[in-house]
Structure 1
Amino acid sequence: MNDSQIDSVDTLKDKVRKVVSMYQQQKEKNEKLNKENQELINKLKSAEQKLNELENQYKKLKLAKTMVASSQDARDAKLKVNRMVREIDKCIALLNR
């Protein structure tokens, strides 16, 4: 081989090394990004699961509050009816005098 060919081969070797090096860097970067992507996917799934749990808790609390409010309304109505019955009893007692 002459000097020109040797230089060409050396240049080609250098370029191949650079390409291999760049490939390795990109491969490592890709692996890092894939790992980061998977971590983000896992965080998203976890957040979605937590959101679903909180939504279910909210629905249960809302239902419980409605039941408590209904119970309170029923209690208030019962107290009013009892007061009315006492007033009616007083009126009947006055009429019987």
Structure 2
Amino acid sequence: MSEMVEIVDSLENRLSKLISKMQGLETTIQDLKQELNKANQNIQIQASEMESLKKQYEKLKIANSLLGSDENKRDTKLKINSLIREIDYCIAQLSD
């Protein structure tokens, strides 16, 4: 009978250790989920900043071309032609 009590005590001990380890792992999982969410938010913020900077760079290239730079003249002319086509399309739509 004493052996049975020792086995039960040993099992209870192991079970309580497993439960405490499980609780520790659950808190670790929660912490990691929070870190992941923060990292995803940072990625989204950086992606939007990068997109904004790309647009700003394109605007600066066009402005630089308009000021007389030969580097991006072709791109500027293509952009202007595209805008003119859009305006012509809008005028055609309005006159219909």
Assess same fold via TM > 0.5.
yes
Give the 4+ runs in structure 1 shifted more than 4 A. none
TM-score (norm 1): 0.69
Question: How far apart, CA to CA, are the structure 2 residues paired with 1:26 and 1:69?
Answer: 63
More helix by share: 1
Q: CA deviation at 1:17?
A: 0.3
Instruction: Tell me, in whole angstroms, the C-alpha distance in 1 between the residues paired with 2:68 and 2:32.
Output: 52
SS of the equivalent of 1:69 reads coil
Name the amino acid aligned to 1:24: Q
Unmatched tracts of structure 1, length 5 or more? 71-97
| Pairing of 1:23-34 with structure 2 (within 5 A) | 23-34=22-33
- TM-score norm. by structure 2 comes to 0.69
Matches within 5 A, 1:83-94: none
Instruction: Tell which has more relative contact order, 1 or 2 (C-alpha 8 A, sep 6+).
Output: 2
The answer for the alignment partner of 1:87 in structure 2 is: none
Q: 1:59 — aligned with what?
A: 58
- Based on CA coordinates, which of the two structures has the bigger radius of gyration? 1
Instruction: Count matched residues.
Output: 69
Q: Distance in 2 between matches of 1:56 and 1:69?
A: 20
Query: What is the alpha-carbon root mean square deviation over aligned residues?
Result: 0.9
